[in-house]
Amino acid sequence: MQYTIRQCCLLLGGLGASLAPAFADEVQVAVAANFTAPMKQIAAEFEKDTGHKALLAFGATGKFYAQISNGAPFEVLLAADDATPAKLEQELLAISRTRFTYAIGKLVLWSAKEGTVDGNGEVLKKGEFKHLALANPKTAPYGAAAVATLKQLGVLESIQPRFVQGENIAQTHQFIATGNAELGFVALSQVFKAGKVTSGSAWIVPAKLYAPIRQDAVVLAKGRNKPAATALMDYLKTDKARAIIKSYGYEL
């Protein structure tokens, strides 16, 4: 049977469409809570551009470490630090030479109310507030950065009794947004979009007051030989993904 050029093109096009789902893959991704908004956006673009689907879970990096150590089915980790992925590598729970820094986070002192936080963080020294929220410093790197900042400012001991501690940075943001704490430390990405803080009042904490929050991604042992895991790691390095990351206030 002979085919015209147009018929051949239609046949090949239909064949390609029927084969596409066979190459699509899913990847289970554990994502640090501070990276929720940008990762949701990146995951949507990733699926659109590659056909692969990223199934996202958000939480504290320390809790993810415990879950991964106990056999959780995650295949990629986007941590809020660089120490946890490195530790997973050493324990053979992550694949060596897949780790890289996808973002450098920034800490911000934020209040949902206008005028509460001044541009220099002097509110911490004045102490005219009842509650200050921060993430658990034992499991959340942004919580550890908050404690380091308060130490550097010499106000940790006086403010510590007023701590409201969130399980992770997402819960910490919720405490402040709902008014359960007048102010607190969150990730800049949670309150920043298109070059500015989107609501309330804020002080972007100078980087010299805490150790750099280098956020590393790594393919976990369960993601070995998983096409979508490799594709996601590559996608995080693309110009499109990097532009999204930068738009939420991260450094690259």
Average pLDDT of span 132-157: 95
Instruction: Judge whether residue 91 has pLDDT over 80.
Output: yes
Banded pLDDT at 198 (limits 50, 70, 90):
confident
pLDDT for the residue numbered 72: 97
Q: Are residues 169 and 175 in contact, defined by beta-carbon separation less than 8 angstroms? A: no
pLDDT for the residue numbered 24: 81
In the numeric block, the tokens 């934020």 are attached to 110
Phi (first) and psi of residue 221, to 5 degrees: -55, -35
The region of weakest confidence among 58-62, 202-206, 222-226 is 58-62
SS3 readout for 62-99: HHHHHHHHCCCCCCEEECCCCHHHHHHHHCCCECCCCC
Banded pLDDT at 12 (limits 50, 70, 90):
very low
Instruction: Judge whether residue 20 has pLDDT over 70.
Output: no
Average pLDDT of span 94-114: 97
**Residue type, position 118, single letter:** D
Instruction: Judge whether residue 152 has pLDDT over 70.
Output: yes
Q: Collapse the DSSP code of 101 into the 3-class scheme (helix H, G, I; strand E, B; otherwise coil) and give the result.
A: strand
Q: Are residues 176 and 184 in contact, defined by beta-carbon separation less than 8 angstroms? A: yes
Report the candidate in 93, 110, 189 with the shortest Cα–Cα distance to residue 146. 110
The region of weakest confidence among 158-167, 190-199, 232-241 is 190-199
pLDDT for the residue numbered 18: 35
Q: Are residues 146 and 95 in contact, defined by beta-carbon separation less than 8 angstroms? A: no
DSSP per position, 7-69 = HHHHHHHHHHHHHHHHH--EEEEEEEGGGHHHHHHHHHHHHHHHS-EEEEEEE-HHHHHHHHH
**Residue type, position 21, single letter:** P
pLDDT for the residue numbered 6: 45
- Locate 96 and state its tokens: 């060596």
Q: How many CA atoms lie within 13 A of 128 on its CB side?
A: 8
Q: Are residues 177 and 91 in contact, defined by beta-carbon separation less than 8 angstroms? A: no
Instruction: Judge whether residue 135 has pLDDT over 70.
Output: yes
Banded pLDDT at 139 (limits 50, 70, 90):
confident
Please give the helix or strand (H or E) that residue 247 lies within, else none. helix 239-247
Banded pLDDT at 196 (limits 50, 70, 90):
confident
Q: How far are the Cα atoms of 17, 46, 231 from residue 234, in angstroms, in the given order?
A: 24, 10, 5
Q: How many CB atoms lie within 10 A of CB 120?
A: 10
- CA–CA separation, 30 vs 12, rounded Å? 38
The region of weakest confidence among 6-15, 39-48, 85-94, 193-202 is 6-15
Average pLDDT of span 126-151: 94
**Per-residue pLDDT tens for 48-90?**
999 999 999 999 899 999 999 999 999 999 999 999 999 999 9
In order of their start, the domains of the chain are 5-104+213-247 (3.40.190.10), 107-204 (3.40.190.10)
Average pLDDT of span 178-202: 92
Instruction: Judge whether residue 94 has pLDDT over 70.
Output: yes
Q: Chain-wide mean pLDDT for the chain?
A: 91
Instruction: Judge whether residue 19 has pLDDT over 60.
Output: no
